[in-house]
Structures are given as C-alpha cells and as structure tokens.
C-alpha cells in the first residue's frame, strides 16, 4: 500500500524513451538541424556558406563563442590554438607504452591520450581546485576555460599525429609554426624533415573543409557523452576522452572506417545486388546509410562529394568509387530503404573515407580524422552547459524497473 507504480513519480508520469528518440535534455544556441529538409546551420550560418567561405578554425570560433570573429579575435584564437599544439616531452613515453603493433588501433591511443592530458592541467580539475571553476561573467574563470579549449583543440592534432607515427616506429614531430591548422596536422603526420615543407594546398584545403563540416552536429552520441560526463563537473579532458570513446563505435564515428571495409568486402559493382539482398535479410549492415535525424540526404554529403572531386584530381580516383556509386544507386531505388527513409549520411556519399584513403591515411585512422574536428563541437556544447543560467544540472536519467519484486536471500547450500 502507498507504493506508486514504477512509472509514476511525484513529478508526474515517467516516460520511457529508448535511445532518446524524442527527448530534449537542454536548450542550445549552437547548431540547427532540420532532418526532413536536410538543413544544417552553425549559429545560424548555413553549412554550405561556411564550407565555401570560412575555415575550420574560424567556424570553430563561431561555434564556441557564437559570432564570427573580427580579424584581431581570429588572429588571437588561431595563434593560441596553434601555440598550444606543443606537447610535453613526457607524452612521448606515454605513447611508446602502447602495444607497438600495426593493428594497435589509434582510437584506443587517442581516447587514452585525452584522459592523460587531464593529469597535466590541474587548474582544470574542479575537485583539485575545491570549487566550481566556471562562473558566468567572471573574467578569470572564463580565461581558465578558454585555455582548456585552446589546449584541447591545439593538442588534438598533435596527439592524433603521435598515435599515427608511434605505430610506424617513427619519431614524433614538433608542431611547426606558420602553417594553418590543417597544414600543421599534415606536416606532423608525414613530415620527412625537408626544409620549407609545404603540404599540397588542394589537400590542405580539402582537409580543412572536411574538418569544418565535421566540427559539430548537436547532440549526437559523442557530444551527449561529453555533456553527460561533464555534467558531473569533471575536467574537460576526461569529458572529451569519454566523447572520443563514444565516437569510436561503428554506429557513429567508426562508420567512415566501416564504409570502406564494407566496400572492400563487396569488391566489384556486380556484387552489389547480392549485398543489398543480404542487408534486407538483416545479415549485413549498409554502413553509411540511415541517420537518427536526417530523413533525406545529409547536406554535408554534397560538400564531401565536391571536395572528393577536387582531391581525386590530385590523387587519382579510388578504385572503390564505382562500387560506392553502384551501392548508392541500388539502395536509393530499393523499396526497403525508401520505406524506412534511409539516405546516405556524411560517411557514405563519395564516402569521406574514400577521400582519406586517396590522401594516404590508413583505414583505422578515419575515426581519428573525425575526432580531431569534433573536439570543437564538444567544447562548444561543454562551454555552453558550464555557463548556462542556473548552473549545471547533473545528467541523471531514470529507468523503468521491470525486474523482480522483493525476494528473501537463500543461503548457497539451500539453492537448487
Ligand atoms: N542498413 C539497413 N537497415 C537500416 C540501416 C542501415 N544502414 N539503418 C537503419 N536501418 C533500418 C533498421 O533496421 C530499422 O528497420 P526496422 O524498422 O524494420 O527494424 C529502420 O531502418 C530504422 O532504423 P533504426 O536503427 O531504428 O534508426 P536509428 O535512428 O535508431 O539509428 C543509425 C540510426 C544508428 C545511424 C542507423 O541508421 C545505422 O545503424 N546506420 C549505419 C551506421 C552508420 O552509417 N552510422 C553513421 C551515422 S552518421 C555519423 O555518426 C557521422
């Protein structure tokens, strides 16, 4: 008597929303998506305009601070981010402690490396500081927050390049000066000590555009993980490490790697119909298709397509392109996919993995190429949450309990 049904609380009915299909956990001013119309805007600016006219770091500033920077603001932001790319020498030992094998996945290293960063910057750890660190309108706390943001964006490329090179048994490269964010990354990945090394400008531009369009996508699984973790007021390095782990899965950021593995397994275009039938029998997954929010083509996929054409002019076409096209065309006219409104997402159409492959990145490095820019979106949302009116509310969802009622303990010898 007096017990409420499990789904009724003093606050009203508790709603079960498996997979958060229709749950909004916060109000946000950062990114707008209309999944039916295929619209994506950062702070009100259409993604197509930004991809055409902005740069990754300028859009990063926009996402984080809410407005396009003036020239001085941009210069300051860019120089802080690039300056913070330099990593303490101790980190080299950290990377060398990973299994030195060609198949040691770089995402495992990168996830650990973000968490490792937290041990370097105790100023970001609220529990060590014994206080809530970030207060709206307080200059010192905003500066502390900005420093962590510069560090994380700056060091994302450095850590990614370290995870890449350590597997190959190569020395690490100190971030250069005087290059753009994308060029500095390319330099750290493959610099072979030539004097005045300049990355190919077409590839630099392509990488910058791909970074820009991957910078944010509101509350996807990884961003939600960052916020959920951050809602306990942990340091941002730990929160970003959690987001990185979430992104690694093949239903999310691991999809760009999964698309290429799928295309390799299909091989030639003539094998596509049999693959489609296997997907419909639920024996296979068509990676790169379907999206929780987009029920039409992902607007980023058109930008990827244009970028691919430019890259392929430099690198030559990828032999898997024809298979990708055949798969796309077959799925788009098949009743199974039409009925479920499954369209190519950003990881499929001219699969951005095909661009990365053409640029010479190994397959398992593709999710890393997604994390590097996505750190920006995670931090924009984290900053927004930390500074929101009324302070941070810990994210603690409820469940609908469907297990046993109360039971009496039975000693082990009396169980049968
Ligand atoms: N291939 C075949 N069938 C699919 C696919 C697919 N790629 N995606 C969804 N479906 C089917 C489901 O089986 C389901 O069918 P049913 O209603 O008959 O059971 C229906 O379409 C609805 O799909 P859900 O899985 O319920 O959709 P949800 O929103 O939960 O999942 C997700 C979205 C995870 C992206 C899913 O579409 C998927 O697994 N896609 C492949 C992986 C992928 O490309 N992920 C990248 C996403 S974009 C990004 O993170 C950058």
Residue 194 has pLDDT above 70, yes or no: no
E strand or H helix at 270: none
Active-site annotation holds for 191:
no
- The CA 290 to ligand 1 mean position distance, Å, reads 5
How far apart are alpha carbons 242 and 261 in whole angstroms? 25
What pLDDT, on a 0 to 100 scale, did the predictor assign at position 343? Answer: 87
pLDDT digits (tens, 9 = 90+) for 16-67: 888 888 889 999 999 999 999 999 999 999 999 999 999 999 999 999 999 9
Contact 388, 380 (CB under 8 A): no
Residue (of 323, 316, 318) closest to 287 by Cα position:
323
Count of other CB atoms within 10 angstroms of residue 324: 25
pTM, whole model, 2 decimals? 0.90
Scanning the structure block, which residue is given the tokens 């400008």?
Answer: 201
How far apart are alpha carbons 159 and 152 in whole angstroms? 10
Indicate the burial class of 268 (C-beta count within 10 angstroms; 0-12, 13-18, 19 or more). Answer: exposed
Return the ligand 1 atom nearest residue 214 CA: 51
Out of 84, 105, 214, 291, the active site residue is 291
Contact 239, 126 (CB under 8 A): no
Contact 394, 142 (CB under 8 A): no
What pLDDT, on a 0 to 100 scale, did the predictor assign at position 6? Answer: 66
Residue (of 250, 322, 323) closest to 288 by Cα position:
250
What pLDDT, on a 0 to 100 scale, did the predictor assign at position 1? Answer: 42
Residues 6+ apart with CB under 8 A from 261: 287, 363
Active-site annotation holds for 413:
no
Query: How far apart, in Å, are the Cα atoms of 106 and each of 240, 241, 242, 254, 273?
Result: 16, 13, 15, 12, 34
For ligand 1, atom 39, the nearest C-alpha belongs to: 251
What pLDDT, on a 0 to 100 scale, did the predictor assign at position 192? Answer: 60
pLDDT digits (tens, 9 = 90+) for 65-116: 999 999 999 999 999 999 999 999 999 999 999 877 777 899 999 999 999 9
Average model confidence (pLDDT) for the chain?
90
């Amino acid at each position: 008597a007096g017990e409420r049904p499990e789904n009724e609380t003093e606050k009203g009915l508790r709603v079960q929303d498996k997979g958060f299909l229709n749950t909004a956990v916060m109000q946000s001013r950062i990114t707008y998506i209309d999944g039916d119309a295929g619209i994506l805007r950062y702070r009100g600016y259409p993604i197509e305009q930004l991809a055409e006219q902005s740069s990754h770091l300028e859009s990063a500033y926009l996402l984080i601070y809410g407005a396009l920077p003036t020239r001085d603001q941009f210069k300051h932001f860019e120089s802080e981010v690039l300056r913070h790319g330099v990593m303490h020498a101790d980190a080299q030992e950290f990377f060398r402690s990973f299994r030195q094998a060609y198949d040691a996945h770089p995402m495992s290293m990168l996830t650990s490396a973000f968490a490792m960063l937290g041990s370097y910057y105790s100023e970001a750890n609220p529990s060590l500081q014994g206080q809530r660190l970030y207060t709206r309108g307080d200059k010192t706390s905003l500066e502390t927050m900005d420093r962590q943001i510069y560090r994380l964006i700056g060091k994302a490329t450095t850590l990614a390049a370290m995870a890449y090179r350590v597997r190959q048994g190569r020395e690490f490269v100190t971030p250069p000066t005087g290059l753009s964010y994308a060029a500095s990354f390319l330099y750290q990945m493959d610099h072979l000590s030539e004097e005045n090394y300049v990355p190919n400008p077409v590839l630099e531009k392509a990488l910058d555009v791909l970074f820009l369009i991957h910078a944010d996508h509101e509350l996807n699984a990884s961003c939600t993980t960052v916020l959920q973790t951050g809602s306990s007021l942990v340091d941002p390095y730990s929160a970003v490490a959690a987001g990185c782990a979430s992104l690694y899965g093949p239903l999310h950021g691991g999809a760009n790697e999964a698309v290429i593995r799928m295309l390799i397994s299909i091989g030639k275009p003539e094998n596509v119909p049999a693959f489609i039938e296997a997907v419909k029998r639920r024996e296979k997954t068509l990676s790169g298709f379907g999206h929780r929010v987009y029920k039409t083509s992902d607007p980023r996929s058109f930008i990827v397509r244009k970028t691919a054409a430019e890259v392929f002019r430099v690198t030559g076409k990828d032999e898997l392109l024809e298979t990708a096209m055949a798969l796309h065309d077959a799925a788009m006219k098949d009743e199974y996919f039409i009925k479920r409104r499954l369209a190519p997402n950003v990881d499929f159409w001219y699969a951005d993995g095909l661009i990365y492959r053409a640029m010479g990145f190994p397959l398992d490095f593709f999710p890393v190429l997604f994390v590097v820019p996505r750190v920006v979106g995670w931090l924009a949302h984290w900053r927004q949450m930390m500074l929101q009116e009324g302070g941070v509310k810990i994210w603690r969802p409820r469940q609908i309990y469907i297990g046993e009622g109360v039971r009496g303990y039975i000693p082990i010898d009396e169980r049968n």
